[in-house]
Amino acid sequence: MAPATGMEASSDQHWLLGEPGWWNLGDTLPPDFRPGELAPPESWVSSTPRIGNFGWIRQRFRPLAWPLLMPMSWSPLFLLATALPLAFPGRTPNDQAISFGLFAIAWALVLLPLILGRNAQPMSNNSIPALPVDWFSLALGAALFSLHILIDPWLGWISYALFWIAYIRTVQKVQDAMITPSARLLLPIVTEDWNSDLPDSWESRSKHWVSDTIARASCDDGHLVIAGTSRGGSDFLALAFVHRSGFVQDPFHDTLSGNRKLAVVLAEPLPITGTQWPSKFIVSSEEE
C-alpha cells in the first residue's frame, strides 16, 4: 500500500478540500462538494470540511489528468519515429539500436507516469500487472518483433501495428481508471476503540488499528479498503475504492453508482462513530 506523498495537499487547511491550484481556483477554496461527489447514505455519520464535528469527511487527492496525460501525449510522436530508421535503412549509424531507443522512450512516457502517479496515492495497489496497460498486445508485438529477424521482416511491421493497438487500448484503460476522481473518506478515531467488528461483507486483515490495510471487501471492478493513517498527531480510519487498475477512487461518486456490489457494501455503515475532528483540519469562515 502506497505511503502518503505529493498526491495529498501539503497544508492542514487544504488537506481535506484539496489545493485550490489543482483546479485553477486561485485563492478560492474548493467547495465541499464538487460535481459528481455524493454524501454517504443517511445511515452513515458524515460531515464536510467546513462543518467538522463528528463523522466521515472526504479527502481529495491531486487529480491525475496532468501528471498522466501530459507525458502520454508525447508517446505517439516517439512511437511514430520508431519506424523511420527501419523504413529508411542505412541513414543512421545503427538503425535497430536507434529504433529500439525511440520505442523505449515511447513506452517509458506511458509506463513511468502510471507507476509513479499510482504509487503516490495512499492506499493504492502497486502491482505492475494491474496497471491499465494492454499487456497482451504489447507482449505479442514484442514476441513478433523478436521473430521478424529470424523468420520474415514483415512480422516486424505486424508487431509495429500491435504496438499502436496496445497504445490506443492503454489510453482507453487509463481513461476508464481516471473517470472517477481520486479521493477517500476519513474518520478520526482513538485507535484503541477499533475492534475490527465489521459486517460480513468485509474481510478483516488486522484485528487492531494499523497504518496499513485493516480490511477489504470485493466489489465489481475492484475492492473497498479500510486502512489506518495518521497526520499531525491524529489517527484516522480511511475508506477508499481501489479500482482493478490499482488507482484509488472516491467510493461515493456518481460514476460508481452502477457498481452494485459496491452499493451493497456501502449500504451498511462501519460500526464506529469516531472522535471530533481536530480544528486544524476544518475550514473556518475567517479562512474563506
Among 156, 178, 200, identify where a domain stops: 178
pLDDT digits (tens, 9 = 90+) for 113-126: 999 999 999 999 98
Q: Mean pLDDT, to the nearest integer, of 278-288? A: 80
Q: Are residues 251 and 277 in the same domain?
A: yes
Looking at the domain assignment, is residue 11 inside a domain?
no
Looking at the domain assignment, is residue 15 inside a domain?
no
Among 109, 143, 178, identify where a domain stops: 178
Q: Are residues 45 and 96 in the same domain?
A: no
pLDDT digits (tens, 9 = 90+) for 227-266: 999 999 999 999 999 999 999 999 999 999 999 999 999 9
Q: Are residues 53 and 70 in the same domain?
A: no
Domain total of the chain: 2
Phi-psi region at 274: left, alpha or beta (left = phi > 0; alpha = psi -120 to 50): left
Q: How confident is the model at residue 286 (pLDDT cuts 50, 70, 90)?
A: low
Q: Are residues 169 and 207 in the same domain?
A: no
Among 131, 150, 178, identify where a domain stops: 178
Q: How confident is the model at residue 57 (pLDDT cuts 50, 70, 90)?
A: very high
pTM of this prediction?
Answer: 0.89
Looking at the domain assignment, is residue 38 inside a domain?
yes
